[in-house]
Amino acid sequence: MTIGSPPAVTDFESEFTVGFDCDRDGVLDTNPSSRRAGGGYVADYDFSGFVDTEDYDLFVYDYDQGYPWADVDSSGFVDTDDFDYFVAAYEEGC
């Protein structure tokens, strides 16, 4: 087996865009507000890599208990805005 010369390739440029498509509609989200500062998505509350009912149940429990980590909108306190924020993210899947 012989290996021939590689074909001539001219220089080219490529451009990549990295973004979020939380609702998976093929269009990058303009405001990925559900992205956590430390990585992961708000709706993936247990950091499992998936958004499922366990995330919902765990968040609701923490929210009901008033645990500070249920402050998903980072306002500094846990209130109904956190619940609305989480549910919106959960419904979008991220």
Binding positions for Ca ion, rule: CB under 5 A = 44, 46, 48, 50, 55, 71, 73, 75, 82
d(CA 87, CA 72): 11
Q: Residue 33 or residue 75: which is nearer to Ca ion going by CB?
A: 75
CB of 27 to Ca ion, least distance (A): 24
Q: Residue 9 or residue 71: which is nearer to Ca ion going by CB?
A: 71
Q: Residue 2 or residue 34: which is nearer to Ca ion going by CB?
A: 34
Contact 60, 72 (CB under 8 A): no
d(CA 46, CA 44): 6
